[in-house]
Structure 1
């Protein structure tokens, strides 16, 4: 699937968000450590002992959910696990992208590698090989309550391991059986506890959060340099970013954002001093560190929370080989991820909110002192008039999407599972908010670059570089033209972080 030779070694304890992204987007292969495999074997031995002793243990010798009081033994134990997967694979809607599926697979592998779930070594290695050989299950996006784990999405993942369902291989849609055959794998038969071990976890929401976090960090850094370009275009006052001002309100994100703005503006001849043109800038310029900084602090909190989840045991029951305890609990409950996703969505949406206000200042001649809508021949040409409409529309859409999913709950499984997190819904909405914010920032990026054309003087260290990056692919607007291709190109630069990093 790829030419990389270096594997990502997973042991259940040290997987970083950057590594999840690498597995998801660069097809970095996975390998389990020897210690992880030994932990898996010990955990499995514990399951087999309980089956032999006919102990009453949830999900191993009993049914699931409301059926936890129904005993299942002998040959039916294997059939129980297969039935679990088939009955739970009832998701709906458009399928997740390949990158989300790969992140989901990697995170589930890492959780099982910790050795608390009772899966067989050969079953776990089968999932590893599917990921490494590019078998990507088709997983519908809708259907998870975010408690009892992401049951429906993960069940669709496991279907393919059984030779059922559908998967893509090199972009081709195949049946599960054909997909496995295509890469030299055979279907497996699940044994006691394995179906439950594979689907009872938070990996659908965590996968989306990990990818959204990576993208959010890129978007935030891009937002800083784009905002600095707008400051130059409007001859803003960098004194508002003076370190001594932010030292007396020492929020780390605020201080970092002020620092980044000054770095991007270093050497600029396009800014002004207090009292030179105006005493103070409007909030959308003057308060960038306070707004962007709050987003920075939120991102750091969510990053820590999701990093912790990436290396957690989130299924049920959990087997403790050192003590012999089998504990039924609620580690599958997605509330921590639900809160994190909702919180980050709000924080990222604010980058779009304040960006749209800066775009308005750029195109409005009463606020900018620049030609109306940044066109040289207003009236005949509309210039950037409608791009601000588009930004306003997307910002408004984000406001709807930022309604928290985590405050909702619907009882399920005959009221046995009577409180759920809706964390997967929160994570899906978050990714849309991040994508929308990228678009709004792309509009400001394009408008700020156009506005800069009407001034003179050297640009700052960071802003000059960002301007040059844009002009490599998008020329100055002299007369009206189709704007969609320009906006798409600018969006691509923002999304990749090209205007900040090579």
Structure 2
């Protein structure tokens, strides 16, 4: 059970909740803060004070005063009118992440909601009732208004949810779990949708997938090194120590670990003096992508524990401030940066694929074909990889440099962070397919050289991967192989191969 307190949620804990379906609960200390904050909101309403979003309208309507009799209806109207999302829904795991992050943010105790609102979010996570949230429609400032409205209305029994493998009306799933729908009260609708939880949720899922892929890229590159009889000297510790980047040194160390004991790698001068950059510069390029990942991780863990709605309530309600913590610029930049880091893992992978299949660049069978000429082998797999990395170059264009004013120019600068996060996730998916292609080609090349000469750890990895995709003994529909390999990569952690497996029965 992960205990939420609004202050210390980590990506590792999020992984347990999202991918392993671990339950969540609220800390008593955090709930005490929530109660105090709620009492402040109720006092504001009773005293008829003018406070944005509690006794006024929203956005350009902030100068419209709301009668105390209508403050609850104001919140319901807010959710229904702002539920303007379009397009395909976010993956179910992303909407689960939204619930988790929204509950954690409200537990900070600056938002003024009743504890029951947070309890409902927690119940939905624990019973696996996941809102159907359209992906498109957020500007990434003033919060992820449209996506989070689709989330919020499911608490009210409106809209749709994913439940037990199907898409059903929210009221049906709530009834099945004995959860009464909520009627929102003062400030609660605004507190639920004024935040960055859609872009951050998408960012969390994307980061966790990208981190796994970055580790996998090193193991796959190691098998490519064996297939191409790459020069191991380029991974020598001294080379990377004198440059000084920790991530570069760590990447080189892990690749050396993968290739320890290999009889297929060579020393400089044995076959060639230098390898091409796509082999020789693996630590430098992959290491730089790890620098990106570390930056993104830091920003996500801050945002996961941030109070990002508006207004925020301090000092028992004596201090209520309208600010701009809902602005998604930090996450927009982080997601745009992540796009670059992951796209480069795919770019260099595609160049290694070319070296594996191009007979002008190696002494392997042309295109790794079992019968060159009669059978095309991996020829068009490289085409597919080239197409994917080209598409990534378009997706990598920064979303955060764009801004379109909204709400009659009251909200005149926005982050587009949710677009950045969505595109980052697409790039991760494309990169995974590219690395799946490299894995298929690298295994074929390494087997041609001799499985008995491989390093113990790469041989162990190849043995398991061969349970997913067979050796190329004749032409077949390779898209099926790519799909199976990519699916395996998405669900498989390579670190156990590197850390604990030292031998394999071939």
Structure 2 residue matching 1:136: 3-state secondary structure? strand
What is the distance in 2 between the residues matched to 1:167 and 1:217? 29
Task: Report what 2:318 is aligned to.
Answer: 324
Unpaired runs of 5+ residues, structure 2, are 498-506
The residue that corresponds to 2:401 in the other structure is 407
Match of 2:458 among 440, 457, 463: 463
Counterpart of 1:43 in structure 2 is: 37
| Superposition misfits of 4+ residues, deviation over 6 angstroms | none
Spell out the pairing of 1:345-356 with structure 2 (5 A cutoff). 345-356=339-350
Contact 1:11 1:113 in 2 (8 A): yes
1:242 is aligned, of 218, 230, 236, to 236
1:290-439 paired onto structure 2 within 5 Å:
290-321=284-315, 324-439=318-433
The CA distance in 2 between the partners of 1:323 and 1:127, in whole Å, is 24
Give the drift of 1:368: 1.1
What is the DSSP-based 3-state SS (H/G/I as helix, E as strand, rest coil) of the residue aligned with 2:88?
strand
Question: Are 1:130 and 2:124 an aligned pair?
Answer: yes
- Give SS of 1:326's match: strand
Looking at structure 2, the residues matched to 488 and 124 of structure 1 have their Cα atoms a distance apart, in angstroms, of: 39
Question: 2:50 is paired with a residue of what secondary structure?
Answer: coil
| SS class of match (1:93) | strand
Q: Give the deviation of 1:171 after TM superposition.
A: 2.1
Length, aligned pairs only: 496
- 1-side partners of 2:467 and 2:63: how far apart? 67
Please name the residue that 2:489 is paired with.
494
- 1:189-204, aligned counterparts within 5 Å? 189-204=183-198
Task: Give the deviation of 1:322 after TM superposition.
Answer: 5.5
Task: Confirm or deny: 8 A CA contact 2:228 2:356 kept in the other structure.
Answer: yes
1:465 CA displacement: 1.7
2:69 aligns with: 75
Query: How far is the alpha carbon of 1:454 from its aligned partner?
Result: 1.7
2:162 paired with 1:168: yes
Give the TM-score taking structure 1 as reference length: 0.97
Give CA-to-partner distance per residue, 1:442-462, whole Å, 9 cap, x none. Answer: 000000000112213521233
Find the residue that maps to 1:153 and give its secondary structure: helix
Please report how far the alpha carbon of residue 361 of structure 1 lies from its aligned counterpart in structure 2 after TM superposition: 0.4
Query: Relative to structure 1, is the Cα distance of residues 38 and 498 closer, same or farther in structure 2, using a 3 angstrom cutoff?
Result: closer
Cα distance in 2 between the residues matched to 1:178 and 1:274: 67
Q: Which residue of 2 aligns with 1:272?
A: 266
Separation in 1, partners of 2:261, 2:73 = 70
Q: CA deviation at 1:22?
A: 2.4
Q: Which runs of 5+ in 1 are unaligned?
A: 1-6
2:500 is matched with which residue?
none
State the SS of the aligned residue for 1:365: coil
Q: Secondary structure at the match of 2:168?
A: strand
Question: Which of 475, 478, 482 is residue 480 of structure 1 equivalent to?
Answer: 475
Q: Aligned residue for 2:281?
A: 287
Contact 2:40 2:316 in 1 (8 A): no
